[in-house]
Amino acid sequence: MITCDFCCLSAEDRKWLLYENEYWLVFFADKQDYPGRCIVAARAHRESLAQLTQTEWLSLKDITDALEQLLKAELGATLLNWSCLMNDAYKAAEPQPHVHFHVRPRYSSPITVDGVSLSDDAFGHHYNNRREDKMDPADRERLYQLLKQKVGLYFKK
Shorter beta-carbon distance to a second copy: residue 89 or 116: 89
Smallest gap from Cβ 126 to a second copy, in A, equals 5
Where b means 16+ CB within 10 Å and e means fewer, 68-80 reads: bebbbebbbbeeb
* Residue 155 CB burial class (10 angstroms; 0-12, 13-18, ≥19): buried
| Interaction between residue 132 and a second copy (CB under 8 A) | no
Site string for a second copy, 1-30 (x = CB under 8 A): ------------------------------
Count the neighbouring beta carbons within 10 Å of the beta carbon of residue 90: 10
| Interaction between residue 73 and a second copy (CB under 8 A) | no
| Interaction between residue 48 and a second copy (CB under 8 A) | yes
- Contact status, residue 98 vs residue 48, Cβ threshold 8 Å: no
Task: Give me the residues that bind a second copy (CB under 8 A), please.
Answer: 48-50, 52, 54, 57-58, 61, 64-65, 68-69, 78-88, 90-91, 97, 106, 108, 123-127, 129
